[in-house]
Amino acid sequence: MSISVEEVFETASMILHQNLDIRTTTLGINLKDCIDNDFEKFTDNVYNKIKTNAQRLVQAAEKLESKYGIPIINKRISITPVSLIMETHCTREKYVSMAQALDRAAADSGIDFIGGFGALVHKGLTMSDKVLIESLPDVFAATEHICSFLNVGTNVAGMNLDAVNMIGHMLKETASKTKDAIGCAKFVVFANAPEDNPFMAGAYHGIGEPDMSLNIGVSGPGVVHSVVEKNRDCDLTQLSEIIKRTVFKITRCGELIGRELAQMLNIPFGIVDISLAPTTAKGDSVADIIKAFGIEAVGAHGTTLAIALLMDAVKKGGAMASGNVGGLSGTFIPISEDTGMIEAVKCGALSLAKLEAMTAVCSVGMDMFAIPGDTPAETINAIIADELAIGIINNKTTAVRVIPVPGKKAGESVDYGGLLGEAPVMEVIPYSSKDFLNRGGRMPAPVTSMRN
């Protein structure tokens, strides 16, 4: 496939002026072969396997950055869901010790985050799963690089309300044990979690994956915003075509880097996740794309249509560019990590209710939003359950990353700096669903699950 001079200059402009980068290279590692009855030997096996392979990832990624001149922002590891390998060592203290071993491996190898400290509990909880959830506040308090997930529902299994009902109390305890509730930003709860997601906090190395695989997440909101801004007079069909062509180019970039990096590491190439992933950097906002569509502020009527149009075009463009599209692949709409979303909350245009509505057509969910610290645990559980129900009924991935910030009330904010940005505290409806959530059990799978 030949590349013209114009395409070279276009790509260079994307990198230099429109924040195009490889957002993450995530190396998935199977840890089942590290299990040992001797817990100290077990943790040593895990540390050594993570450190050895993580160092290889960092070194190879740095070589490719120099070769192609495209920034690779994050180097990450995803692992086998920890609850599966801790069955014979499932005490709270040992979970914390394992997390600390993983954290040391990340620090010693230059890795940003390790994902997979979680469990698949969509049909029920094992003892290991329960202890994992109970240990998470201590895990987050004792580590810097560990990210955790729970998958509590699928469109085939329904939703495990007993698992959901454990989360609110866990998050409030985590908030009290970590500065400004930062530990809550490292935990995400899913319905229909993909096994090859390269993005944190929800990345894990699925049980259907090979021993190791490399998954790529590509950024691109700034690039898409630039082309939308230049085409303000076209109709929706033309707008979709423009976005599709742009995302095709972004995805080809990720495909090139991913395949070459996997070859250097001598492991299978997994997927390119084509999600638009915003940051707090100027011009790198999904919200600004929506505003360039012609919407005054995100949250105004018409926003859900705009998100649907954007996500559909992103998927179509990415799917044409790679035969290995996977992960989440859609549009991230986090609050704290997107300056346009922050502004929309502060000016009153965007509420939790509208954010939830937008996620019905966006493949990720309600991400990185803060709520008052005195929000009852049962209300947090209800927020989570509402969002995940959208994913289960509509056969799509949805997720929640919510931060109950101690001492903060609606209208205030907390500034995390860096990638996590500023989280304005959003108002929560004060009426309770406690009695409904306390029924527990499992929400039955929808009839759409019967496809055999």
pLDDT in tens, 275-300: 888 888 887 899 999 999 999 999 99
Shared domain for 341 and 409, answered yes or no, is yes
Q: Which of 176, 191, 206 is the last residue of a domain?
A: 191
* Degrees to nearest 5, angle at CA 247 with 388 and 273: 45
Q: Is the pLDDT of residue 134 over 50?
A: yes
Query: Which residues in 371-404 are b (16+ Cβ under 10 Å) and which e?
Result: bbbebbbbbbbbbbbbbbbbbbbbebbbbbbbbb
CA-closest candidate to residue 280, choices 332, 341, 352, 223: 341
Domain count, the chain: 2
Q: Is residue 232 part of a domain?
A: yes
Shared domain for 221 and 93, answered yes or no, is no
pLDDT tier at 153 (50, 70, 90 boundaries)?
very high
Q: Is residue 451 part of a domain?
A: no
The boundaries of the domain holding residue 106 are 24-191
> CA dist 281 to 177, 273, 310, Å?
29, 21, 20
The pLDDT tens digits of the residues spanning 48-58 come to: 999 999 999 99
Q: Which of 191, 225, 246 is the last residue of a domain?
A: 191
Q: Is residue 275 part of a domain?
A: yes
Average pLDDT, the chain: 92
Shared domain for 383 and 437, answered yes or no, is yes
pLDDT of residue 11: 61
The pLDDT tens digits of the residues spanning 415-435 come to: 998 778 899 999 999 999 999
Shared domain for 283 and 317, answered yes or no, is yes
The tokens describing 318, both together, are 């990415």
The pLDDT tens digits of the residues spanning 386-410 come to: 999 999 999 999 999 999 999 999 9
Q: Is residue 13 part of a domain?
A: no
Residue with tokens 């559909």: 312
Shared domain for 175 and 219, answered yes or no, is no
CA-closest candidate to residue 335, choices 287, 295, 303, 372: 287
Helix or strand or coil: residue 45?
helix
DSSP secondary structure letters along 159-170 = EEHHHHHHHHHH
| Residue of 134 and 329 predicted with greater confidence | 134
The pLDDT tens digits of the residues spanning 214-243 come to: 999 987 888 898 889 999 889 999 999 999
Q: Is residue 218 part of a domain?
A: yes
Q: Is residue 12 part of a domain?
A: no
Q: Is residue 7 part of a domain?
A: no
